[in-house]
Every structure is written in C-alpha cells, then in structure tokens.
Amino acid sequence: MCVARRFSRAVLTITAIVVVLGAAIFFGIYHLLNRAKPFSLGEHCQVKTSTGTLDLEIEQAQVAATIAAVASRRKLPERALQIAYVTAIQESKLLNLPSGDRDSVGVFQQRPSQGWGTVAQLQDPVYATRKFFAALVKVKRYQKLPLHEAAQAVQRSADGSAYAQHEEDAKILAGAFTGRIPKAVHCWYPPPTGKPVPSQPAKARKELARALGEPAADGNQITAPTERRGWLIAAWSVAHARKYGLRQVRYAGVTWKSASGHDGWLTDAKSSSAAKVEIA
C-alpha cells in the first residue's frame, strides 16, 4: 500500500515537472517566434477595412498614400481618388515604373510624347498624380460616370473596360488612405542589416508637404485639423516609415512601431491627441 502511494506521488511529481517544463518550452518558443516574426513575414503592408483586406508591397503603399495626399490637397471627393486608383492599379500595379508601352512611364503610365511632362517629371508620383487629377476634373460630370469610364476619359487607353476590374480594391484603398477609416494601414519589415538607418522626420515632413501642402509642425508633431486628415497623415507616415527610418507613428491614443509593425496599431497612453500626429 505504502509502495503504491509512493509510486503515485512519484508519478504525480514527474507529471507536474513535465507539465511545467512543457509550458516553459512552449512560451519560450512562442516568444522566440514572436520576436522573429518580422523576419519571417518579410516586408509588406496591409490595408484592412470592413469591406475587405488588401496586401501591398511597401512601394505600392507609398504610391497609394501619395495619391491620396494629392487628392486631399486639391480638396477632391473620394470618388476622384477611386478613379485614380483603378487607373494606377491597371496601368502600373501602383508602382512607379521606369518604362512601359511605347514611351509610357510612371504610376499612371503617362506619355511624354502626349504632353504629360518629361520622363523625369512623370517618374515623380506627386507630379504624375497632379497631372492626372488636372485632367480628370476637366472630364464633364466625372463624379457621375462609372469609375472605369472616368478613368478611360483621362487615359484614352486601348481597352478602357479593364479599369472596371479594380473598383472594389480602389474603394478599399480610398477608405483607408483618405483617413476615413482609422487604423486601416500598417506595414512591417525586418530591421536593416549593418548600420541602422537614421530617423529622418524632417525629411518625411518635407516630402509629405509636397503632396499634401505644408503641414504645421511642432518638432516631430504634425498638426491635424481634423481626425480624418490625421489618419491620412498617419497612414502616409507608416507607408513611408522604412524610407525615412521612422521608428514610430503616434496618433489618437494608438501607436504603430517599426519593430512590431505586423501587430498594427496598439493602444498607447502616451500617444498624442487627435490634434497632432507624432513621428519619430
């Protein structure tokens, strides 16, 4: 009897030790994998709204954010931005291409020979977007036209119907990058190898100003006259974080950090108010 009890106690003790060791190993592996997550996921951006989710390359996110900023500067309706997006997705997959059909270049594949600008100008997404919108607003009743018809009126491509297949994606992008849908954009990428990229918030603000207009800045804080504008600035900053070495973007009680970008926007008591976007 005593032997049986001692045996039972020994089994229970061994079982408890195995359980504790198993839990320790599990949590150790979990935290190790979590720390390695940015490396395993590579580099990417995600746009998530109630109507759908899109995965983008970082360059695609930068282009999408720039197009939205230019549209906002011109005080254009979201419909105009959707038209720009269906065009850019079809023409370049939201990439700033160095070449294309005949002499076409850039995000919208505009042609220097057709008077859109020089090759160098059209490879500047801000300039190319301004030219696109300048042509779009001249299209009679463009806001009432189907997206693909409005895009075709500007582009005059061989097959204008091709733009229609991108309408749902364009609507998701527009809702996110205009700031109408908060916390909709986040990006992740491994830290650079070798010497760290210095944080350059001043350069980021300068580039943002080219597209959006000069935002009032107090140090690393950018004034947001409305919450929607604030989320536009925040989305633009996250999309351009790798380019300018930004470590974090804070806004309206939440923070995105480059070290854990895959986790998206997390609650942060130190985050700035809805009147300021902080980049660092």
Q: What residue ranges in the chain does DSSP mark as E strands? A: 44-49, 52-56, 185-188, 217-218, 221-223, 248-251, 254-257, 266-267, 276-279
Average pLDDT along the chain:
86
Is 214:233 a contact under the CB 8 Å cutoff? Answer: no
Instruction: Give me the half-sphere count of Cα atoms (radius 13 Å) on the Cβ side of residue 231.
Output: 19
Lowest-pLDDT range of 73-77, 154-158, 233-237, 250-254: 154-158
> What is the model's pLDDT at position 195?
78
Residue 113 has φ and ψ, to the nearest 5°, of -70, -15
**Strand ranges across the sheet with 44-49:** 52-56, 44-49, 185-188
Instruction: Give every CB contact of residue 249 below 8 A, 6+ residues apart in sequence.
Output: 234, 237, 238, 241, 255, 256, 277, 278, 279
Supply 254's token pair: 């939440």
Whether residue 81 is predicted with pLDDT greater than 70 in this model: the reply is yes
What angle separates helix 58-73 from helix 125-136, to the nearest 10 degrees?
50
Residue 104 has φ and ψ, to the nearest 5°, of -70, 140
Lowest-pLDDT range of 26-30, 70-74, 113-117, 154-158: 26-30
Supply 226's token pair: 């409305």
Q: What is the pLDDT of residues 18-63, one digit of tens each?
A: 444 444 443 343 333 344 444 455 899 999 999 999 999 999 999 9
Q: Residue 269 carries which DSSP code?
A: T
Is 171:196 a contact under the CB 8 Å cutoff? Answer: no
> What is the model's pLDDT at position 10?
52
Higher local confidence (pLDDT), 249 or 7: 249
14 pLDDT band, cuts 50/70/90, is low
> What is the model's pLDDT at position 103?
86
Return d(Cα 114, Cα 135) in angstroms, integer.
Answer: 13
Whether residue 157 is predicted with pLDDT greater than 90 in this model: the reply is no
Domain map (residue ranges) of the chain: 47-177, 194-279
197 pLDDT band, cuts 50/70/90, is confident
Counting residues of the chain whose pLDDT is more than 70, the rounded percentage is: 83
> What is the model's pLDDT at position 269?
78
> 196: which strand partners?
none
Whether residue 212 is predicted with pLDDT greater than 60 in this model: the reply is yes
193 pLDDT band, cuts 50/70/90, is confident
Residue from 187, 199, 198 nearest 239 by CA: 187
Supply 11's token pair: 């089994």
Higher local confidence (pLDDT), 99 or 23: 99
> What is the model's pLDDT at position 250?
95
Residues in the chain: 280
> 267: which strand partners?
254
> What is the model's pLDDT at position 37?
45
Which residue in the block uniquely carries the two structure tokens 């020089």?
Answer: 118
> What is the model's pLDDT at position 163?
95
Residue from 191, 237, 196 nearest 43 by CA: 191
